[in-house]
């Protein structure tokens, strides 16, 4: 999405604060399509300034991310302002991060969505000039794929896809409610993974029978997450990408196998190396699932975020 939409914007003087959830993509067979929003949040505050750029970061990634225009939140804000007609003279941005970086929990998508939402809120009439569908398309363009950003924006369980039209590449998504019995448990390791490097491990083609198997399991996963959680073990089986990425994260792959052998649905979260398992409220086994690991992983018992990205301090 390039170019400008309408006249130069008028900016709000009041600060805004947005909340964006962590996400888990793929969920096994739904490669580059499925996403799940989780109740683990980053918070971003933004305010128009007279001049310059000031970026403050606390929490996850604070010692690693840049404090200038290279910061991903700032890049997303600038892209949004450009789309809306122009940037303010100055900008102050504050990030309070709880989503681990480089672990397959959508930290980059959260930063992109936070930047777009904050920038839109700082522009008078921004909601009308950049509606939700356009936000998704812009976020997917910046991120490069729509699965995480769709879940971050919409909340719940999302199915995203992309296609070409006369304006270029367009991403769309639908959102579904997750069954109330589903309890996501994330096992977060100490080490990180690069999405770009891990993606390079994927082959250019896969056997037809593997692709067919994944298509069936992906369809089943939609039903399992929304209606029949008892089918999640079968529904989360994958033959398309996890086996090829396992050499880059052998401990994570071993944990997935261990959990699944114990009858617990488990997958690599996004590009990894976090492992996402599904416990059951009805069986009251979330604590048991969280205990099936070693000190190398940090278990986080989470809930599904139903709402997606939110403005938590409305502009005046």
Q: What is the pLDDT of residue 298?
A: 86
Comparing 294 with 185, the larger pLDDT belongs to: 185
Phi, psi torsion values for 18, nearest 5 degrees: -125, 155
Comparing 198 with 23, the larger pLDDT belongs to: 23
Q: What is the pLDDT of residue 197?
A: 80
Residue 8 belongs to a domain: no
Angle 129-132-134 from CA coordinates, rounded to 5°: 65
Q: Are 109 and 235 in the same domain?
A: no
H helical segments located in the chain: 72-84, 107-122, 126-129, 132-143, 147-154, 195-199, 208-226, 232-235, 242-245, 250-261, 286-290
User: Residue 316 above 60 pLDDT?
Assistant: no
Q: Are 41 and 151 in the same domain?
A: yes
* Residue 6: how many other CB atoms lie within 10 Å: 11
Q: Are 165 and 219 in the same domain?
A: no
Q: Are 36 and 157 in the same domain?
A: yes
Q: What is the pLDDT of residue 314?
A: 63
Lowest mean pLDDT, pick from 2-11, 60-69, 188-197: 2-11
Residue 2 belongs to a domain: no
Residue 10 belongs to a domain: no
Q: Are 135 and 220 in the same domain?
A: no
* Residue 202: how many other CB atoms lie within 10 Å: 13
Report the alpha-carbon distance of residue 250 to residue 230 in Å, rounded. 28
Give which of 31, 114, 36, 125 is closest to 77, Cα–Cα: 114
- Identify the band that residue 288 occupies on the pLDDT scale cut at 50, 70 and 90: confident
- Averaged pLDDT for residues 5-15: 86
Q: Model confidence over 204-249: pLDDT tens digits?
A: 999 999 999 999 999 999 999 999 999 999 999 999 999 999 999 9
Report the alpha-carbon distance of residue 59 to residue 42 in Å, rounded. 9
Q: Are 151 and 198 in the same domain?
A: no
Three-class SS state of 216 = helix
What is the total count of domains within the chain? 2
Q: Which residues pair with 45 in a beta bridge?
A: 17, 94
- Identify the band that residue 1 occupies on the pLDDT scale cut at 50, 70 and 90: very low
Q: Are 101 and 248 in the same domain?
A: no
Residue 4 belongs to a domain: no
Q: What is the pLDDT of residue 166?
A: 75
Q: Model confidence over 119-156: pLDDT tens digits?
A: 999 999 999 999 999 999 999 999 999 999 999 999 99
Phi, psi torsion values for 131, nearest 5 degrees: -65, 170
Q: Are 40 and 171 in the same domain?
A: yes
- Give the residue numbers spanning the domain of 253: 182-301
Q: What is the pLDDT of residue 5?
A: 52
* Residue 190: how many other CB atoms lie within 10 Å: 12
Selection from 33-37, 186-190, 254-258 with the highest mean pLDDT: 33-37
Report the alpha-carbon distance of residue 281 to residue 181 in Å, rounded. 5
Domain with 258 in it: what CATH number?
A: 3.30.70.890
Residue 45 belongs to a domain: yes
Q: What is the pLDDT of residue 25?
A: 97
Confirm if 303 and 178 have CB atoms less than 8 A apart. no
Q: Are 162 and 35 in the same domain?
A: yes
Residues in the chain: 316
Buried b / exposed e along 85-124 (16+ C-beta atoms within 10 A): eebbeebebbbbbebbbbbbbbbbbbbbbbbbbbbbbbbe
Domain with 171 in it: what CATH number?
A: 3.30.230.10
Q: Are 157 and 233 in the same domain?
A: no
User: Residue 3 above 70 pLDDT?
Assistant: no
Q: What is the pLDDT of residue 194?
A: 78
Q: Are 100 and 50 in the same domain?
A: yes
Q: Model confidence over 67-120: pLDDT tens digits?
A: 999 999 999 999 999 999 999 999 999 999 999 999 999 999 999 999 999 999
CA dihedral 215, 143, 93, 122 (to 10 degrees): -80
Phi-psi region of 6 (alpha: psi -120 to 50; beta: other; left: phi over 0): left
Residue 62 belongs to a domain: yes
Mean pLDDT of the chain: 93
Report the alpha-carbon distance of residue 129 to residue 136 in Å, rounded. 14
User: Residue 52 above 60 pLDDT?
Assistant: yes
Lowest mean pLDDT, pick from 6-15, 57-66, 139-148: 6-15
Report the alpha-carbon distance of residue 304 to residue 306 in Å, rounded. 6
- Identify the band that residue 4 occupies on the pLDDT scale cut at 50, 70 and 90: very low
Residue 6 belongs to a domain: no
Burial class of residue 204 (count of CB atoms within 10 Å of its CB; 0-12, 13-18, 19+): exposed
Residue 3 belongs to a domain: no
Q: Are 109 and 187 in the same domain?
A: no
């Amino acid at each position: 999405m390039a170019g400008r939409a309408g006249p130069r914007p008028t900016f709000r003087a009041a600060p805004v604060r947005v909340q964006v959830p962590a996400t888990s993509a793929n969920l096994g067979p739904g490669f580059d399509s499925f996403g799940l929003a989780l109740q683990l949040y980053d918070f971003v505050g933004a305010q128009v300034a007279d001049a310059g750029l000031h970026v403050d970061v606390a929490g996850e990634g604070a010692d690693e991310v840049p404090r200038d225009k290279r910061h991903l939140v700032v890049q997303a804000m600038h892209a949004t302002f450009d789309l809306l007609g122009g940037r303010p003279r100055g900008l102050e941005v504050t990030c309070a991060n709880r989503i681990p970086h480089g672990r397959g929990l959508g930290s980059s998508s959260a930063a992109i969505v936070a930047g777009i939402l904050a920038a839109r809120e700082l522009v008078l009439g921004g909601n009308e000039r950049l509606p939700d569908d356009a936000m998704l398309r812009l976020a997917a363009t910046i991120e490069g794929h729509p699965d995480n950003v769709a879940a971050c924006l919409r909340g719940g369980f999302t199915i995203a896809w992309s296609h070409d039209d006369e304006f270029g590449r367009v991403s769309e998504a639908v959102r579904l409610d997750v069954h109330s019995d589903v309890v996501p448990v994330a096992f977060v390791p100490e080490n990180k993974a690069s999405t770009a490097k891990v993606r390079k491990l994927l082959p250019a083609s896969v056997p037809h029978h593997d692709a067919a198997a994944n298509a069936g399991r992906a369809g089943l996963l939609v039903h399992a997450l929304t209606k029949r959680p008892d089918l999640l073990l079968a529904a989360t089986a994958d033959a398309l990408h996890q086996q090829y990425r396992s050499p880059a994260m052998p401990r994570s792959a071993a944990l997935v196998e261990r959990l699944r052998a114990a009858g617990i649905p488990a997958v690599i979260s996004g590009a990894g190396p976090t492992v996402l398992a599904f416990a059951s409220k009805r069986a009251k086994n979330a604590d048991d699932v969280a205990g099936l690991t070693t000190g190398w992983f940090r278990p986080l018992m989470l809930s599904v975020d139903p709402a997606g990205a939110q403005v938590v301090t409305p502009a005046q």
